[in-house]
A and B are shown apart, each in its own frame.
Chain A
Amino acid sequence: MSLAAFSLALPLVPLAAFAILLAAGRRVPKAFASGLGIAAMSVVFAASVGMLPAVIGGARPEVSAHWLRVGSVPIDLGVRIDPLTALMLVVVSLVSLLVQIYSIGYMGSDDRFRWYYAAISLFTAAMLGVVLADGWLLMYMCWEGMGLASYLLIGFWFEEPEAARAASKAFLVTRIGDVGFGLALVLMWTQAHTFSFDSVFHLVETGSWAGPTLIAAALLLFLGAMGKSAQFPLHVWLPDAMAGPTPGSALIHAATMVAAGVYLVGRSFPLFEANPQTLQVIAAIGMITALMAALIAVAMDDIKKVLAYSTISQLGFMMIALGTGNWVAAIFHLMTHAFFKALLFLAAGSVIHATHTQDLHEMGGLWKKMPWTTTTWVIGALSLAGIPPLAGFWSKDEILLSVFKSGNMLYLVLAVLTAGLTAFYMSRATFLAFFAKPGVHTKAGHAHESPAVMTGPLVVLAVLAVVAGFVGSPLTNYAFARFLGESTAGEFALPLALVTVTLSLAAIGYAWLMYIKGAIRPDWYMDSWFARRVLARRFHIDEIYEYLLLAPVLAVSGAFGRLDNAVVDGVVRATGWLGIAVSKVLAGFDRAGIDGAVDGLGEGVTGAGHGVRRILTGNVQIYLMMLVVSIVVLVAVFAR
């Protein structure tokens, strides 16, 4: 069996780790849990990398099994590996591996350490299933598995009401998208009678499936992607999801799971390509999301919230790339983003681990105490800000070029502006946390560098955040696009790059003047009505949901509750009362008649026993007397 063929079974490896950890519970030492998780992920990573040459060489291993038959139509579940899958396998397993190594240090003192590793293994198994699936049905199953793991990890510290609430919220909000995904499957089944990528693509290309149902199916699939990838207006769960452990956030809510929506659209791209209006919807949603999240990120003081909104914004960028027709650029940005955003989250975790605060204003001056964390964070931030030659520069430039070529100048201006905002809020977070003079509320006094088990993964990710972009640059003749089989997708435009880089550098310089030099009053914009009342309140979207959706639902359910109490409960209570009355009559008969007979018999026997007992005094002379009397009586009766 070749390595590539073996790779088809890769999700089973972390799944086995999950099962073992679940069964073992607290009986195994902590080192066993982390060792098992890391060993499983090492196997997956080694296999993923090891098969890359074969995939480049044209190998397309696949295996499919007959699952069940509906009517005369069989439903098959299968897995397959193509370049896109191979790429996702490498990214997911690498980030998961590094996060698990990092977690040894970050989660070491936690009581539920073993459960943490079980949940991470479950998540990775589900994510590998999503990228390996050869049809939407298996993908949907694993998609839900990811949702479960996400729920478990957000609610990891479920003793805190905030975490429990965030977990439920994430599960319910993404469920809206998942319902869309499910409905898309229904449509697909009624129209195409298959869930396999290749079969459906073939039907779409030949025009056998077209028209409104195809548009509806594509948009519903995109709804699923919006839920998982936190696109406006379903983005509200992701900032709250930061209540979970930071390394878990880094893996699930920054690097991999939230990118699954982008992967879904990229994988289903022929469905969208067939109807350009669906692409316009994607581009519009992506644009709104990217700009809105970047604006909110500027006003956030919690380091994890800044990163969360940054993630939403970058996912919006990927959607813009998809919406303007360049799915390769979206996947490219997905990959580079996975590396530098995981890096930023893990570095933020290192800071939180050292200072026990998430508030940027309570940090400051950490660069002296945490050199490794600072260096790697800065690399990640520069990569995110799109400074050449770091990874984020190449992927973001390709997206902006895609927007430019689509001819929509409004989008181009907004996208470039968003890129500038990105550079600004990342500089703000960087300067406040690491370089600014500590404020009066600082908790950075006793900060110290994290152990090597935490800084090691940071260094690896920092290296990737530097070099990962080169595969999509002209320096390697766009190896990335060629690897994905779209040799024309890669492009680079110097003027556009110059504009964005200049803007980003200007934004960084402005932040420097504000937070380091002090030439401009720090956070002056926070005094404005817009920043305080709109941005810091996250555009009031949570409140809008509260009033438009939750309040009516609660009012209706309250009314039904009262109705239930008055009418339904009334009937039930009357029935119950009647039953009790009848049974009381029956009970009276039971006591007097049947119990009387039974008790009477018992009492008779007991009474006789009491009577007889009085004779048996234990006095030998009385016994002897009775003996004599008995003999006399017997003689008197029988001796005649």
Chain B
Amino acid sequence: MITLNHYLVLAAALFCIGLFGVLTSKNALRVVISVELILNAVNINLAAFSVFVAPRQAIGLNFVVFFMVVAAAEFGLALAIIIALHRTEDIGAIDAIRKLKG
């Protein structure tokens, strides 16, 4: 039987992998992917709590849908910036980016 705790452990593991990726990666693309992992860990939490704690209202599920859309938009934007930088400046490492300062 799969309980709520299984989902929470999975989400925590996913979050830690994402966090590890964000903190250790030099490659900007990898950082963005790791951020997606963190977001999805949150989504799993929301969905699990929604199903196990209040199955009838499904408020958490609504949030998950919103989050997935926002994450997709954010990922699209980040990918565009990274590719643009890669093409014009040949920059891949995240700490080398200086041009976006306001």
Binding-face segment, A150-158, A233-241, A580-588, A616-624: A616-624
Question: What's the least CB distance linking B23 to chain A, in Å?
Answer: 5
Interface size on B, residues (CB 8 A): 6
> Which residues, 1 to 48 on B, are CB-close (under 8 Å) to A?
19, 22-24
Whether A628 sits at the interface, judged by CB under 8 Å, is yes
A-B contact list, 13 entries, CB within 8 Å: A619-B95, A620-B94, A620-B95, A621-B22, A621-B23, A621-B24, A621-B94, A621-B95, A624-B22, A624-B23, A625-B23, A628-B19, A628-B23
Interface string of B78-102 (1 = CB under 8 A from A): 0000000000000000110000000
Contact partners of A620 in chain B: CB under 8 A = 94-95
Contact partners of B22 in chain A: CB under 8 A = 621, 624
Interface size class of A (residues with CB under 8 A): under 10
Question: What's the least CB distance linking A617 to chain B, in Å?
Answer: 9
Interface string of B30-74 (1 = CB under 8 A from A): 000000000000000000000000000000000000000000000
Contact partners of A619 in chain B: CB under 8 A = 95
Question: What's the least CB distance linking A620 to chain B, in Å?
Answer: 7
Rounded to whole angstroms, the CA-CA distance of A625 and B94 in the bound complex is 15
Question: What's the least CB distance linking B86 to chain A, in Å?
Answer: 19
Question: What's the least CB distance linking B27 to chain A, in Å?
Answer: 12
Rounded to whole angstroms, the CA-CA distance of A620 and B94 in the bound complex is 9
Contact partners of B23 in chain A: CB under 8 A = 621, 624-625, 628
Taking chain B's interface residues, is the majority helix, strand, or loop, or is none over half, making it mixed? helix
**A617 to chain B: closest residue by CB:** B95
Contact partners of A621 in chain B: CB under 8 A = 22-24, 94-95
Contact partners of A628 in chain B: CB under 8 A = 19, 23
Contact partners of B94 in chain A: CB under 8 A = 620-621
**A625 to chain B: closest residue by CB:** B23
* Contacts A621-B24, A621-B95, A624-B22 supplied; 10 other A-B pairs, CB < 8 Å: A619-B95, A620-B94, A620-B95, A621-B22, A621-B23, A621-B94, A624-B23, A625-B23, A628-B19, A628-B23
Question: What's the least CB distance linking A534 to chain B, in Å?
Answer: 101
Contact partners of B24 in chain A: CB under 8 A = 621
Question: What's the least CB distance linking B22 to chain A, in Å?
Answer: 7
Rounded to whole angstroms, the CA-CA distance of A624 and B18 in the bound complex is 13
Rounded to whole angstroms, the CA-CA distance of A73 and B94 in the bound complex is 104
Rounded to whole angstroms, the CA-CA distance of A624 and B34 in the bound complex is 14
**B25 to chain A: closest residue by CB:** A621
Rounded to whole angstroms, the CA-CA distance of A621 and B24 in the bound complex is 8
Considering residues A619, A621, A625, A628, which has the most beta carbons from chain B within 10 angstroms of its beta carbon? Answer: A621
Rounded to whole angstroms, the CA-CA distance of A620 and B35 in the bound complex is 14
Q: Which 6 A/B pairs are nearest by Cβ-Cβ distance?
A: A625-B23, A619-B95, A621-B23, A624-B23, A628-B19, A624-B22
> Which residues, 598 to 640 on A, are CB-close (under 8 Å) to B?
619-621, 624-625, 628
Contact partners of B19 in chain A: CB under 8 A = 628
Rounded to whole angstroms, the CA-CA distance of A620 and B23 in the bound complex is 9
Rounded to whole angstroms, the CA-CA distance of A541 and B95 in the bound complex is 100
Rounded to whole angstroms, the CA-CA distance of A628 and B16 in the bound complex is 11
Rounded to whole angstroms, the CA-CA distance of A620 and B97 in the bound complex is 11
Question: What's the least CB distance linking B18 to chain A, in Å?
Answer: 12
Rounded to whole angstroms, the CA-CA distance of A621 and B23 in the bound complex is 5
Question: What's the least CB distance linking B96 to chain A, in Å?
Answer: 11
Question: What's the least CB distance linking A618 to chain B, in Å?
Answer: 8
Question: What's the least CB distance linking B24 to chain A, in Å?
Answer: 8
**B95 to chain A: closest residue by CB:** A619
Rounded to whole angstroms, the CA-CA distance of A297 and B23 in the bound complex is 113
Rounded to whole angstroms, the CA-CA distance of A444 and B15 in the bound complex is 117
Question: What's the least CB distance linking A600 to chain B, in Å?
Answer: 38
**A619 to chain B: closest residue by CB:** B95
Question: What's the least CB distance linking B29 to chain A, in Å?
Answer: 15
Contact partners of A624 in chain B: CB under 8 A = 22-23
Rounded to whole angstroms, the CA-CA distance of A621 and B28 in the bound complex is 11
Contact partners of A625 in chain B: CB under 8 A = 23
Rounded to whole angstroms, the CA-CA distance of A621 and B30 in the bound complex is 13
Rounded to whole angstroms, the CA-CA distance of A403 and B22 in the bound complex is 130
Rounded to whole angstroms, the CA-CA distance of A628 and B34 in the bound complex is 15
Interface string of A19-47 (1 = CB under 8 A from B): 00000000000000000000000000000
Rounded to whole angstroms, the CA-CA distance of A621 and B26 in the bound complex is 9
Question: What's the least CB distance linking B34 to chain A, in Å?
Answer: 11
Question: What's the least CB distance linking A304 to chain B, in Å?
Answer: 87
**B26 to chain A: closest residue by CB:** A621
Rounded to whole angstroms, the CA-CA distance of A624 and B24 in the bound complex is 11
**B19 to chain A: closest residue by CB:** A628
Interface string of A553-569 (1 = CB under 8 A from B): 00000000000000000
Rounded to whole angstroms, the CA-CA distance of A625 and B21 in the bound complex is 11
Rounded to whole angstroms, the CA-CA distance of A628 and B95 in the bound complex is 19
**B22 to chain A: closest residue by CB:** A624
> Which residues, 485 to 529 on A, are CB-close (under 8 Å) to B?
none
Question: What's the least CB distance linking B98 to chain A, in Å?
Answer: 10
**B97 to chain A: closest residue by CB:** A620
